[in-house]
């Protein structure tokens, strides 16, 4: 979950920090990030806080990251299927060697520093995933 604007970051803090998605009231499909029209055709949703648990579907090492993440390079990102169904891409925390990872491993969301921006060095925090 990458947000470059502090205002956008502030507005989406519940989504970013709490893994708040939407659940279709008609068919129960869960969306994260939010989607405003379900595959069933309904636009009737309720907010849902996701568990933060997931399964690692794939992963890769990033050697040339966007400028904001250059101080973390290299780092590892994973394709994660959340326990409630949505699939997201997120940075994996506390992994020193990609050889320690296997597809299907269980991961959970953790709160970590992303990067700092501007001359004031405002620190942005968000969720990453770690092995359990």
Of 53, 63, 130, the C-alpha closest to 95 is: 130
Tell how far CA 10 is from the center of its chain. Answer: 16
Q: Which of 4, 5, 26, 106 binds Zn ion (CB under 5 A)?
A: 26
Among 23-31, 62-70, 78-86, 92-100, which window interacts with Zn ion (CB under 5 A)? 23-31
Q: Which of 42, 51, 58, 70 binds Zn ion (CB under 5 A)?
A: 42
Between 24 and 127, CB nearer to Zn ion: 24
- What is the longest distance spanned by two Cα atoms in the chain? 47
27 touches Zn ion by CB under 5 A:
yes
**Can you tell me which residue has the tokens 């991961």?**
107
Strand partners, 99: none
List residues near Zn ion by CB under 5 A. 24, 26-27, 29, 38, 40, 42
């Amino acid at each position: 979950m990458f947000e470059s604007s502090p205002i956008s970051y502030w507005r989406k803090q519940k989504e970013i920090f709490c893994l708040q998605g939407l659940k279709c009231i008609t068919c129960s499909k869960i969306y994260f990030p939010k989607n405003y029209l379900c595959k069933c055709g309904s636009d009737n949703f309720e907010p849902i806080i996701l568990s933060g648990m997931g399964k690692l579907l794939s992963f890769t090492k990033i050697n040339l990251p966007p400028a904001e993440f250059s101080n973390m390079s290299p780092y590892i990102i994973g394709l994660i299927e959340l326990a409630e169904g949505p699939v997201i891409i997120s940075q994996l925390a506390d992994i020193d060697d990609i050889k320690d990872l296997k597809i299907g491993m269980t991961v959970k969301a953790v709160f970590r520093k992303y990067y700092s921006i501007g001359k004031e060095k405002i620190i942005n925090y968000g969720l990453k995933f770690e092995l359990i």
